[in-house]
Structure 1
Amino acid sequence: MRPLNELETPNDAAQYARSLIEASPDPLVTISPHGKITDVNLATEQATGKSRSELIGTDFSDYFTEPDKARAGYQQVLREGRVSNYPLTLRHVSASVMDVLYNASVYRDEKGEVVGVFAAARDITERKRAEEKIRYLAAIVESSDDAITGKDLEGVITSWNKGAEKMYGYSASEMIGQSMSLLILPQHLDELSNILQTIRDAQHVDHFETTRQRKDGSLISVSLSISPISDASGTIIGAATVARDITERVRAQQALQQYREHLEELVQERTAQLESANKELEGFAYSVSHDLRVPLRAIDGFSQQVLKRYADKLDDEGRRYLNVVRDNTKKMSQLIDDILAFSRMGRLGMSCADIDMQAMAHAVFEELSPNLADRELSINIQALPLCHGDPSMLHQVWVNLLGNAIKFSRNKTPAQIEVQGHIEGAEAIYSIQDNGAGFDMQYADKLFGVFQRLHGVAEFEGTGIGLAIVKRIITRHGGRVWAQGTVDVGATFYFSLPIQEKKS
């Protein structure tokens, strides 16, 4: 590039200067002492949306959003000879704007008289946007209740917001330049070195829960989220930490855990008490049943002897009385057997195996069939899902449920029993349906209780314990029992068993 003073003619110099002006990416203008534009470069045309011919001769202040401020800046140049970084906003004909910093100086003629002003505008729109974004982010940081801090890779604090002042009790002036270890308990100091190494490895720390110490010595539970900070070249130079106070949440969790532990202790205590009471009850039931059997056997035995030895001395009414006594001793004996069976079902160990429920249902019906010689009864046992359970216990379930279906349908001709089963979700569900006496659904919740009967003894014999035994067995297997019925139409009893997962 040739110096201006080496150019051969004034015209050469003018063309050279013009080339320099046009090559500038910044808007450049020359202005007369009266504020009129005398020349512009291409960048000015682009910034205003007007051509050079349109701009020359117009007042330069017309192209700013604040004309008075522009004129004041121009007057300052005339007074002081120059102005630097004067902020203005340039307006385009499309109504868009450009934030600029103006730098201007006067130029003089050979006599030293001011003949105009040379001004250059530097576009700072992007810089202002960046500054506004920084101010916005800074406002968020300062208004946050979370402690937002910065530190270098040695753990020295570089920034400290108001949330941090409130949370930890230290002011920014107290903490900036101090080590983050000031907040960390001695037994947790390894956390800082681990976190800094994570940051050096360009990794983030998300929701790390720990304890920090306030200025007054009190402890605070915090959740830390930490991210690396990089410089313009991408080199990691520090870390930004957001700490949230979770003290109340931690206290609530601790209180909840203590409450759970207390509940578990209560449950264990109550369970132990219940097990003890059950053992006492089982012992009592066994003892009472044993003690009751002795006089029952005596009553039955002596009644039988009276009938054998003194039958000829008794009239028909006397013999009937003795038979009534014997029948009731048998009923009492059956009741004692049922009570013992119910008690045993709650304490017997279970020996489980895979069971063909259809085969078991057929086998039980065959066991009950000898008493059905004079009955017109049909039974349909459909394909039933296999199950896993205690065979002897589930055999008792079928005995009780099929026995009930047979018993309560004896007044129907023909009596019909339908046995079905299917898989539903994680359960195998079985049903036994009859067309017998049925029951009123408003009493359905009483069916499976001990000594609960919906029919009189004179109508249908029984002790009222059979369904309670069924419920206890099925419950021990993790299943459910329920029933549906209609008076004089029939009843359907259901029980479910969990499906055993097959091991691969």
Structure 2
Amino acid sequence: MSKKPLNSLLSVDYATPTEDCITERRRQVALPITGALQNAIFNSANFSSIATDAKGVIQIFNVGAECMLGYTAAEVMNKITPADISDPQEVIARAKALSLELGTPITPGFEALVFKASRGIEDIYELTYFRKDGSRFPAVVSVTALRDAQDAIIGYLLIGTDNTARKQVEAEQKKLNQRLRDQQFYTRSLIESNIDAIITTDPCGIITDINKQMEALTDCTRDELIGTPFKNYFTDPDRAEAAIKLVLSEKKVTNYELTARTRDGKKTVVSYNATVFYDQDRTLQGVFAAARDITESKRLDQELQETNVALKNAKFVAEKANLAKSNFLSSMSHELRSPLNAILGFAQLMDTDSPPATPSQKESIDQILHAGWYLLELINEILDLAVIESGKLLLSEESVSLAEVMLECQAMIGPQGKKHGIKLTFPQFDNSYFVRADRTRLKQVLINLLSNAIKYNQPEGTVIVDCAATPERTRISIRDTGAGLPLEKLTQLFQPFNRLGQENSAEEGTGIGLVMSKRLVELMGGVIGVESTVGMGSVFWFELASDTEPYLSMEGEDAAALAEPHVLRGTRLHTLLYVEDNPANLKLVEQIIARYPDIRLMSAVNGNSGIEIARSSQPNVILMDINLPGINGFEALKILHLDPTTTHIPVIAISANAIPLDVERGMKAGFFRYITKPIRVNEFMEALDLALEFAREHSDDDT
């Protein structure tokens, strides 16, 4: 306001207001409004307003400050500075920072809080305030210097807002950003650590991302690959482009073969596996693909195919050689047996000729006979081994009584033991021991082991046969008192033609028996072994699966059929021949036939004797076991069919070989029916009735 003379101020023009009067009136009208605004500002609880004098002592402490800091205005006004309610460490740090920034020393304390404002520099900073209760909170503080009419600083105004919420938001955002970075790093690590080349493309087949393996596969950098067509890096671009189109249409592609190519022409066969991927709105983004190097796999596959071809050829050659060997052995058997038959026949005639031969002639004849019989044994064992190794040996596994087999073996081997002065001890069976085995082959194994125990024993020695059984396995042991075998010879056992140094001994042998025994035991599902001590003797043992005593099926109609007594089939007496080497099986059939007075049962224990009985007795029906000592059931059937005197007799097979292939083979061979063991009475009698009816009809036709 310009200064005027006092008289001018006293003179008043009541007609027209002066300029000063108008201004004064406006000021008086504005004062209430300004006062209301000031009150609203200073009483606002949303921000703190702290005004100080020039030295920093608090002069104004508004309602917002009271709410934020927990002090009343009376507690702080004219008593403390804002520095007293601020974090001292932050105040010290601010003083150091400002000193460096402005190039002048600044004292920690209130000066550090208002120094910039005192120099007319806008100053807004973050600071931690202490509440009265000792708690802390972050605040954003704006500092302004208060000046009088002469522009001298008369105080400072510090306006603060609680920054806790924003800090929390920033902290959460920081965490989210860190999680995002971690997730991106993790995802990238997964992609880079993959052994496959990883590629992503857009729907048009343009590469959008790759991993290091793709760089190695193409010999191109990441920057060179991204933004270029996927198809450019393969020997067949059209096929590569088709791969992208295929996965876009099918949503997934697996094992699609491509050949990658580097800049210098190196080629790598890869297996391409891909799928499409979308964003969170299910909008198609492109193709995610993995290409695995299968060059080595392809090479191995090729080698495997070549190896398989070589194996097939080798197998064919081996089978052909095996067949040739079998044919050769069969032929040689016939060729050797014919002259051998003459040699043995004439030698026996000479041995019984009259007048008798001279002592020297007798000695020569004995040598001829001895060598001839030994040669025949050798031929038979070689042929048996050839049949076993060719896989053509037929086994008829069934429940076999050890007591019966032991008695038969004892009778067969007893004379050999007496001849060598060896005492034989066989087990006394209080309980019935049954094993799952082929009866004929079981006897063959036992006779072979017993024969060896006698031949390689010491004079006046002993052989002890023992048997031990569990519900699962049964072990048969043959212990001798011979010289025993050292460890190095034990490892050579069960080798063909290896007699372990006994070639020049007085005891004859072929070196085949133990090999055959091992093969037969294993074919019957068992194991064989030996324990030996030099000077003490040896124990040869083998184990087979334990079995139960053979039984008749007695269920339903079978039990009723067996219970019917005195069933007559007309007035004619029917004759039935059963060719069977297992006494237990023979007993079962005897139990059945005993119910039928019009049937007479005859029996034979091997194929040859069965053929002879059939020729002489002309039975109505023949029951034939398949696996017989000497010739088997198939060979016996063939002889019977070729003989005019027996060709009309129906032959029913009874065998433990019960798989469908066995039954089919038996029917094709010409058996009238094929009955499997264990025998079911109803099935057995039905087959027998049909066979008797067949025999009657053919007998009527003949008459």
- Offset of 1:466 from its aligned partner? 1.1
**What is the CA–CA distance in structure 1 between the aligned matches of 2:375 and 2:307, rounded to whole Å?**
43
Q: 1:495 to 1:320 in 2, by over 3 A?
A: same
Corresponding residue for residue 360 of structure 2:
317
Matched with 2:405 is 363
1:279 is matched with: 323
Matched with 2:172 is: 126
1:400 aligned to which of 445, 448, 454: 448
Cα drift, residue 158 of structure 1: 10
What is the rounded CA distance, in whole Å, between the counterparts of 1:242 and 1:353 in structure 2?
Answer: 63
Check the 8 A contact 2:83/2:91 in 1, yes or no: no
Distance 1:254 1:195, change over 3 A: same
Q: Which has the higher contact order (CA 8 A, sep 6+)?
A: 1
In structure 2, C-alpha distance between the alignment counterparts of 1:173 and 1:264, rounded to whole Å:
45
Aligned pairs for 1:91-490 (under 5 A) are: 105-107=142-144, 115-118=156-159, 120=161, 121=163, 122-123=166-167, 124-139=170-185, 144-146=192-194, 160=209, 163=212, 166=215, 169=220, 171=222, 175=226, 185-187=241-243, 189-193=245-249, 195=251, 220-221=270-271, 230=280, 246-247=292-293, 250-309=294-353, 312=356, 314=358, 316-347=359-390, 349=392, 351=394, 354-357=397-400, 359-360=401-402, 362-363=404-405, 365-372=407-414, 374=418, 376-380=423-427, 386-387=435-436, 392-405=440-453, 407-408=455-456, 411-412=459-460, 414-421=462-469, 428=473, 430-437=475-482, 438-454=484-500, 455=502, 459-476=506-523, 480-490=527-537
Unaligned runs of 5+ in 2: 1-31, 103-112, 234-239, 548-658, 660-703
Maintained 8 Å contact 2:531/2:539 = yes
Please give the secondary structure, in 2, of the residue aligned with 1:464.
coil
In structure 2, give the amino acid aligned to 1:485: S
* Distance in 1 (alpha carbons) for counterparts of 2:116 and 2:459: 121
2:688 corresponding residue in structure 1: none
Separation in structure 2 between the aligned mates of residue 401 and residue 257 of structure 1, nearest angstrom: 49
CA contact (8 A) 1:33 1:117 kept: no
Q: Is the 8 A contact 1:29 1:37 kept in 2?
A: no
Q: Pick closer, same or farther for the CA change 1:43–1:340 going to 2, 3 Å.
A: farther
Q: Deviations over 1:250-303 (max 9, x none)?
A: 333333333333333222222221222222222222233332333333333333
In the alignment, residue 330 of structure 2 is paired with which amino acid? Answer: Y
Partner SS state of residue 246, structure 1: strand
Asked whether the 8 Å contact 2:477–2:540 carries over to 1, the reply is yes
CA change 1:494–1:160 in 2 (3 A) is same
Q: Which moved more, 1:374-383 or 1:412-421?
A: 374-383
**In the aligned structure 2, how far is the partner of 1:91 from the partner of 1:245?**
60
1-side partners of 2:324 and 2:121: how far apart? 111
**Is this contact kept in 2: 1:149–1:240, CA < 8 A?**
no
CA distance in 2, matches of 1:429, 1:34: 114
In structure 2, what residue type is equivalent to 1:341? D
**Which residue is 1:14 aligned to?**
42
Letter in 1 for 2:299: A
Identity %: 17
Pairing of 1:31-46 with structure 2 (within 5 A): none
C-alpha separation in 1, matches of 2:160 and 2:201? 44
What letter matches 2:319 in structure 1? E
Letter in 2 for 1:463: T
- Separation in structure 1 between the aligned mates of residue 230 and residue 68 of structure 2, nearest angstrom: 52
TM-score (normalizing by structure 1) = 0.67
In 1, the alpha carbon distance for the partners of 2:526 and 2:464 equals 27
One-letter code of the match for 1:290?
H
* 1:81-92 matches, cutoff 5 A: 81=122
Contact 1:181 1:192 in 2 (8 A): no
Once residues 195 and 35 of structure 1 are traced to their aligned partners in structure 2, the CA distance between those partners, rounded to angstroms, is 76
**Distance (Å, rounded) in 2 between the aligned partners of 1:37 and 1:135:** 48
Contact 2:198 / 2:214 at 8 angstroms: preserved in 1? no
Q: Distance in 1 between matches of 2:274 and 2:360?
A: 95
Q: Provide the aligned C-alpha RMSD in A.
A: 5.4
SS at match of 1:446: coil
C-alpha separation in 1, matches of 2:425 and 2:352? 42
Q: Name whichever of 29-38 and 118-127 sits farther off.
A: 29-38
- Aligned residues of 1:448 and 1:471 also touching (Cα < 8 A): yes
Check whether the contact 1:481–1:494 (CA below 8 A) recurs between aligned residues. yes
| 3-state DSSP of counterpart to 2:426 | strand
Looking at structure 2, the residues matched to 70 and 148 of structure 1 have their Cα atoms a distance apart, in angstroms, of 53
1:443 is matched by which residue type in structure 2? K
C-alpha deviation, 1:404, in angstroms: 3.5
Instruction: Give ranges in structure 1 of 5+ residues lacking alignment.
Output: 22-27, 197-204
Q: CA deviation at 1:419?
A: 2.9
Give, in whole Å, the separation in 2 of the partners of 1:99 and 1:135. 29
Q: Which has the larger radius of gyration?
A: 2
Structure 2 SS opposite 1:415 = strand
Give yes or no for the alignment of 1:56 onto 2:82.
yes
Q: Which residue identity is paired with 1:62?
A: Q
**Aligned equivalents of 2:455 and 2:120: distance in 1?**
123
Aligned in 2, Cα 1:422/1:239: closer, same or farther, shift over 3 Å? farther
TM-score (norm 2): 0.51
| 8 A Cα contact 1:484 1:493, kept in partner | yes
Structure 2 residue aligned with 1:24: none
CA distance in 1, matches of 2:51, 2:193: 53
